[in-house]
Amino acid sequence: MKKFSIFAALILVLQLVLPVSLSASAEDSSEVLNYLALGDSLAAGMNEKGEIGLGYADYIAQSFSIGEEPINYNKGFAFPGYTTVNVLNDIENNVTKPIYNLDGQSTKTATIQQAIKEAHLITLSVGANDILKNVTRTEAGGFSYDAAGVLQTIQQVSTNYKKIFDSIYALNPEVDIIVMGLYNPFPYLQDSTVQGQLNTLVTTINNSIKTIVEENEGIFSDVSSLIAENASAFLPNQNNTHLNEAGYDAVAALMIEDYFAVILGDLEDGFTEIVIEEAPFTDIKNHWGKDYIDVAYSYGIMKGNEDGTFKPNVNVTRAQAVSVIVRAFELEATNAAPFKDISQYSQDTQNEIAAAYEAGLIRENGGYFNPKGQITRAQLALMLMRLSNSFVGEEYIPESIAPFKDIVNFDRETQVAITFLYDIGVVDGTSATTFSPKDNLTRAQLAKILVLAMSGE
């Protein structure tokens, strides 16, 4: 899974293991990502008036800019008229250009290779200008094209897309890439034969690009039908092939939808087909975690007690919590853990504890892990922050510590970990000034984590 997808999955885990009353709503999420837009005039945001305004990249950036903290967004490398060759040359030559974000063009500059290295998400729209070089508008308002030239160009565009993906992944193998497909730029031509040719051409190009994109683990967003069905609304200027803001907004929404559909699809792919049955436990009927307990029971990953209860509010041990996180994120061990107090556990559990140790989620404490101890919210915060640090390859450094009075006596790392939960907008605390760091995790909350773990994330 790519870097931002992993971080998004981590957010899901955080939301699952914390009480619903403490979880921030999606509107309060302040998750920050580095987003880079590459490509032609569509990526730059040229509108139906021929002016640079709000394009699909800007609307995507706005969608991820929730709360007071903006995302790190740059469309400064997108340029009107760009072809696949231009994008490829920019990367190979490591060009420097002004940063262009939601506030407009900045006085600061960036090199494209460094921007790619730092990106969690890249969008790309390019290829139309390659093809249009073979298309000629006639004085009568129609058009003609060199069929042989078009076919040759389609092949070259596919080759260049592969090179662009290779160049990006060489700099940042963990980045997510979403590609905007092409659309019919001349929907107002009245000749049905011409329209049929145009639509066939667009479909052929899109299929060619889509194949390369998906073979290279990218996400292809086919916008052709969306724009064709709303041509009069999204392409109001018959003398300009660019979308208006409404069109760009709709394209951005579709690209985001396609992006998260892939993430959710990965989650669903982790499950085998099985009928989810209602768990027979007598104490979960009105419990908030019932649906998750039903799934966990159906998959045989959690059982109840001999008296027919599940005891959803019973606290979870450190060993159980670690095992869940390790399975959820597919961590593996290469060596045994150095703990003296885990030998009575199964080999699988020992391996999971060892994997957590190798990944840095847990630390050696005089040779003891305390596997039977009940995990606290503060301990969970530490594990999840360390997991995030491991995934993104850098240490989380907050601007200031979260405003919770009940964490001031904890060590610096724990305070930073709790601040991590607070800063990414998952929790506000049990009150405005408390986090309740010593509170525990329950079996119902663990059932949720286990369901996510079975997804293969």
The model's pLDDT over 86-102, given as tens digits with 9 standing for 90+, comes to 999 999 999 999 999 99
Indicate the range of 126-140, 239-253, 267-281, 409-423 predicted with least confidence: 267-281
Q: Which of 247, 132, 231, 149 lies closest to 190 in space, CA to CA?
A: 231
AA identity, residue 366: G
The model's pLDDT over 138-189, given as tens digits with 9 standing for 90+, comes to 666 566 777 788 888 889 999 999 999 999 999 999 899 999 999 998 898 8
pLDDT at residue number 1: 43
**Mean pLDDT of the residues in the chain:** 84
User: Across the chain, how many H-helices and E-strands are there?
Assistant: 17, 9
AA identity, residue 30: S
Q: Are 360 and 394 in contact (CB under 8 A)?
A: no
**CA 292 to CA 231: how far, in whole Å?**
44
**CA 199 to CA 161: how far, in whole Å?**
21
Burial class (CB in 10 A: 0-12, 13-18, 19+), 75: buried
Q: Are 386 and 414 in contact (CB under 8 A)?
A: no
Q: Are 68 and 30 in contact (CB under 8 A)?
A: yes
pTM confidence score: 0.58
pLDDT at residue number 264: 59
- Average pLDDT (97-108) is 94
Q: Would the pLDDT of 122 be above 90?
A: yes
Q: Are 379 and 407 in contact (CB under 8 A)?
A: no
Q: How many CB atoms lie within 10 A of CB 19?
A: 16
Helix (H, G, I), strand (E, B) or coil at 177: strand
Q: How many CB atoms lie within 10 A of CB 169?
A: 16
**CA 28 to CA 424: how far, in whole Å?**
9
Percent of the chain whose predicted confidence (pLDDT) is above 90 = 52
Write the DSSP symbol of residue 265. Answer: H
Burial class (CB in 10 A: 0-12, 13-18, 19+), 348: exposed
Q: Would the pLDDT of 25 be above 90?
A: no
